[in-house]
């Protein structure tokens, strides 16, 4: 076979060339597909790098009492204090021979709490009583002498009228009556002094018996039998100035320091719900008793006194307590309604910022920061909080509102 024929066989014809080449529309489609994949990949990488991964939850509605659902205008914390509390001390210096109380004991007004050694005072009382008896005896003797002197004077006057006695004897009888009358008046005053001395000495003995000034509970016992007590400090640490401390449990109330920037939310007779730190699930009804009309310039606070509407043995002095100042109930609301459904959220879904509460609502991949008004803890270990305004129920929230990467309008992706 000639070489020219072989070369012609290897040469590609125009028809074969056109058949093997790809159509232009296929190339364009492939190019668009590759570009779309690259764009999606770039967008996905950019979106994941710019968004915050969060857990989400749906706002539930829960049936609660109308009291729990009332809006809280202000939350604060304070302490339980007793308006009537006294550290009982002796009125005089002496040695204790008996202490009749212990911590936790209930006492009544006038009950004997302690006894100070009164042996010397009793001896002094016996002496003053003896002096009083002697004064009365002397007084009786002088009264008898005066009566006799007056009879003698009368006889002298009769004799003088019949010229049977001299004027000197009459004058002497008159002088005796006057002298005895003056002595009797003096002795009567001495008898009164002796009576007052007995009363005073009895008062001194009464001071050696320490009594309860009012009914209450003994919360501290500071002295023991055998120790010296005094109404004033004697120095050196060997003399007690107090015997025990009594608290009138009926006078317990709450003292709260409210920031002066929010004091306009508090007024007298405003309803309050209190919760002891020791009993966080127990709502105690209370109300504002008074707003003290003075501010503390160091702390920029105003003291508010809150009274309990229901006392309980579990409430103890100096306990920590949190209070919620509630909004005054609207008169247009149905007073017969005892419960109603309200939105509740976990406490960690609420962000407190600058004294206000917020939640993050997830809408179309972004979060919206919404202000809410809280009412009360809804139970379950105080993990859920009643929302009185700002939510309706059913909204999707960020579960952890304290995430530092969250901000109003931020992109988020839901993890769960």
What percent of the chain clears pLDDT 70, i.e. is strictly above it? 81
Closest CA to 246 of 378, 367, 88: 88
Please state the φ and ψ torsions of residue 67, each to the nearest 5 degrees.
-65, -40
Q: Per-residue confidence at 257, pLDDT binned at 50, 70, 90?
A: very high
pLDDT of 127-150, one tens digit each? 999 988 988 888 888 888 888 888
Bridge partners, residue 377, by sequence: 385
pLDDT at 233: 65
> Distance (Å, rounded) from C-alpha 79 to C-alpha 286?
14
- Helix/strand/coil (H/E/C) assignment for every residue in 31-59: HHHHHHHHHHHHHHHHHHHHCEEECEEEC
For residue 199, what pLDDT is reported? 92
Confidence of residue 380 (pLDDT cuts 50, 70, 90): very low
Instruction: Check residue 303 and report its DSSP letter.
Output: E
How much is the pLDDT for 409?
78
Q: Which residue has the higher pLDDT, 269 or 53?
A: 269
Q: Does residue 332 surpass a pLDDT of 50?
A: no
Q: How far is CA 211 from the centre of its chain?
A: 28
- 85-115+209-245, what's its fold? OB fold (Dihydrolipoamide Acetyltransferase, E2P) (2.40.50)
Q: Confidence band (pLDDT; 50, 70, 90) for 36?
A: confident
pLDDT, residue 248, reads 93
Among left, alpha and beta (phi > 0; psi -120 to 50; other), residue 144 is alpha
Number of CB atoms found within 10 A of residue 104's CB: 9
Secondary structure letter of residue 416 according to DSSP: -
Is domain 53-71+337-414 annotated with CATH 1.10.3720.10?
Answer: no
User: So what's the pLDDT on residue 9?
Assistant: 57
Pairing of the two strands 396-398 and 351-353: unpaired
Q: What is the mean pLDDT of the chain?
A: 81
For 170-183, the pLDDT digits (tens) are 788 888 888 888 88
pLDDT band at 114, cuts 50/70/90?
very high
pLDDT of residue 70: 65
Strands (E) across 164-213 are located at 209-211
Q: Please state which architecture CATH assigns to domain 75-82+249-326.
A: Beta Barrel (2.40)
Q: Which of 46-55, 194-203, 227-236, 280-289 has the lowest mean pLDDT?
A: 46-55
Higher-pLDDT residue of 399, 6: 399
Predicted confidence at residue 78, as pLDDT, reads 93
In the prediction, which pLDDT does 183 show? 86
Between CA 411 and CA 120 the distance in angstroms is 89
244 pLDDT more than 80: yes
Query: Does residue 290 surpass a pLDDT of 90?
Result: yes
Average pLDDT over residues 61-84: 78
Reference 267, options 231, 233, 293; nearest CA is 293
**With the CA atoms of 124, 126, 130 and 136 taken in that order, what torsion angle do they form, in degrees rounded to the nearest 10?**
100
Rounded distance, CA 376 to CA 382, Å? 9
The DSSP secondary structure of 331-400, one letter per residue, reads TTS-TT--EEEEEEEEGGG-EEETTEEEEEEEETTEEEEEEEEEEEE-STTTTEEEEEES--S--EEES-
Q: Where are the domains of the chain?
A: 53-71+337-414, 75-82+249-326, 85-115+209-245, 119-198
- What is the per-residue pLDDT across 15-28, written as a single tens digit (0 to 9) for each? 555 555 556 666 77
Q: Is the pLDDT of residue 164 over 80?
A: no
Q: What is the mean pLDDT of residues 220-247?
A: 80
Average pLDDT over residues 273-300: 90
């Amino acid at each position: 076979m000639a070489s020219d024929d072989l070369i012609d066989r290897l040469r590609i014809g125009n028809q074969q060339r056109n058949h093997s080449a790809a159509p232009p529309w296929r190339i364009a489609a492939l190019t668009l597909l590759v570009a779309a994949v690259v764009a999606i990949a770039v967008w996905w990488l950019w979106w994941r790098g710019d968004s915050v991964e969060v857990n989400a939850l749906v706002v539930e509605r829960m049936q609660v009492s109308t009291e729990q659902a009332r809006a809280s205008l202000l939350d604060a914390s304070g302490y339980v204090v007793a308006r009537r509390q006294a550290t009982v001390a002796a009125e005089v210096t002496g040695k204790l021979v008996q202490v009749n109380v212990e911590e936790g004991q209930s006492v009544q007004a006038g009950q004997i709490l302690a006894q100070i050694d009164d042996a010397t005072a009793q001896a002094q009382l016996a002496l003053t009583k003896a002096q009083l008896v002697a004064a009365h005896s002397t007084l009786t003797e002088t009264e008898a002498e005066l009566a006799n002197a007056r009879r003698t004077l009368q006889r002298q006057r009769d004799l003088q009228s019949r010229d049977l006695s001299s004027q000197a004897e009459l004058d002497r009888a008159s002088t005796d009556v006057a002298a005895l009358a003056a002595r009797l008046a003096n002795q009567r005053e001495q008898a009164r002094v002796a009576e007052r001395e007995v009363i005073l000495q009895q008062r001194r003995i009464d001071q050696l018996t320490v009594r309860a000034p009012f009914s209450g509970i003994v919360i501290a016992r500071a002295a023991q039998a055998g120790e010296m007590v005094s109404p004033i400090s004697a120095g050196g640490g060997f003399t007690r100035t107090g015997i025990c401390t009594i608290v009138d449990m009926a006078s317990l109330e709450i003292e709260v320091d409210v920031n002066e920037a929010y004091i306009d939310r508090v007024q007298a007779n405003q309803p309050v719900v209190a919760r002891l730190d020791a009993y966080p699930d127990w709502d105690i009804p209370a109300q504002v008793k008074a707003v003290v009309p003075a501010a503390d310039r160091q702390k920029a606070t105003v003291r508010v006194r809150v009274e309990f509407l229901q006392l309980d043995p579990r409430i103890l002095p100096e306990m920590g307590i949190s209070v919620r100042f509630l909004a005054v109930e609207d008169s247009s609301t149905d007073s017969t309604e005892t419960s109603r459904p309200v939105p509740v959220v976990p406490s960690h879904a609420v962000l407190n910022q600058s004294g206000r509460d917020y939640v993050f609502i997830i809408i179309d991949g972004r979060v919206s920061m919404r202000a809410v008004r809280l009412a009360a803890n809804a139970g379950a270990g105080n993990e859920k909080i009643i929302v009185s305004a700002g939510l309706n129920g059913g909204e999707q929230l960020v579960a952890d509102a304290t995430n530092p990467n969250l901000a109003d309008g931020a992109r988020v992706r839901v993890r769960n």
